[in-house]
Amino acid sequence: MKSGILHILFLSGVVLCCGHREACSRAVFLPDAQDGEWAGHTVSEDYNVYSSCVQDGYKLTSCPEGSTPSGRCPLYPTLFDKCISNSDICREQGYVIRCPEGEEADYSQRCPQDSVYTKCKCAACLGYDYTEVEANSDGYIADGEPCLSCQTEKYKRKINPCEGYEYDAGNCGVNSCGKLAGDTCQSGSTLKYKKCDPCPAPSPTCSDGSWNLDNYWCNGALRCWLPQSN
């Protein structure tokens, strides 16, 4: 009799024979079952758990390379309902391939599923050591465009050339004749001036009425014009 044909179910390594085609329509193997995993359950209970998970949509037992199981059946964790790509898992956990402006990759924090993905940190902006205020103070000016570190602009700086301010103590008033005057500009540690008033020309005659042979305005040329005295 057809109803008497035995059908075999392989449940967690236990062979169950049943005589009803409707009840045992196919052989089923519970994947990755371990000895004692279902301790306390009968074979029928094992099969009911497996069937319940499958009916609820947990039908997968493996994923293709580059993806990870997701949505495991609570009653039978070997079964799951979908595979998620490793890249999606990384993005869901806040890992990225490209960091936004002002940030750079933090290679100490890589995504476990795909090391191409990392977390981000504020850009180091090496060599950009000053805020905008610092870069434009104390005789300096900002050098080039800023570097963005998170939301903070950082700058390089250079000595202010003070264009149009040509004079300082080195070329007027101290080491040479003249008097510094006019507007000033701080160039590094040097105070520069717009003007250098010339030294006043000395009188061509001395107080006693004799000629000043070392007259400044002719650099002593008057001495050369006169006959030398013995």
Q: Is the pLDDT of residue 10 over 60?
A: no
Judged against a pLDDT cut of 60, whether residue 15 lies above it is answered with no
pLDDT tens by residue, 139-167 = 999 999 999 999 999 999 999 999 999 99
Tokens at 225, concatenated: 């014009």
For 190-201, give the DSSP string. Answer: EEEEEEEEPPPP
User: What is the DSSP code (8-state) at residue 46?
Assistant: H
Which residue in 175, 224, 166 sits closest to 199, CA to CA? 175
Residue 11 has pLDDT above 80, yes or no: no
CA-based end-to-end distance of the chain: 160
pLDDT in tens, 37-72: 444 445 455 678 888 888 888 888 888 888 888 889
Q: How many residues does the chain have?
A: 230
Average pLDDT, the chain: 76
**Pairing of the two strands 147-149 and 157-159:** unpaired
